[in-house]
Amino acid sequence: MYKNKLTLKILFFLISTDILETFTQYCFKRSAMPQSDVFISNFSDLLIFIKPIIGSGFLWMAFLSTLLAFVIWSSILSKIDLSVAVPIASSSYILVPLVSIFFLGEEMAWLDWAGISFILAGVIIVSSSTKKEKIIIP
């Protein structure tokens, strides 16, 4: 059974989940950055690492963003097939590295860009497929 086809509204919500996922990852990274010099080797170190993070506004924004993405994602999955939604919603694999470069000053190797290019090609192929065939397994 196939669900309704991909509409512009559903595509907008898919893009929204990608943006929210990217924002979530950025916020998690920002909340952990001040603790980059803490090495966790025991439970005490873990507490030392976690304590400042819990008070970070970035952590709480990440949690709220995750919750909102969950609500939108659940709505999307009630309208279209999972096999269509997931590949289209994979653009966060492209957005996260771009945000990392521009807002966190991280660097990427050419091999990383090659992998991102393959992901982008897959997203384009899957999102542009309009014909679905039933596969009957004997």
Residue 79 has pLDDT above 50, yes or no: yes
The pTM of the full predicted model, rounded to 2 decimals, is: 0.79
Q: What is the pLDDT of residues 88-129, one digit of tens each?
A: 787 788 889 999 999 999 999 999 999 888 888 877 777 676
Q: What is the pLDDT of residues 13-67, one digit of tens each?
A: 999 999 999 999 999 999 999 888 888 888 988 888 898 899 999 999 999 999 9
Contact between 122 and 1 under an 8 Å Cβ cutoff? The reply is no
Residue 12 has pLDDT above 60, yes or no: yes
Domain boundaries, the chain: 8-128
Is residue 87 packed enough to be buried (19+ CB in 10 Å), middle (13-18) or exposed (0-12)? Answer: middle
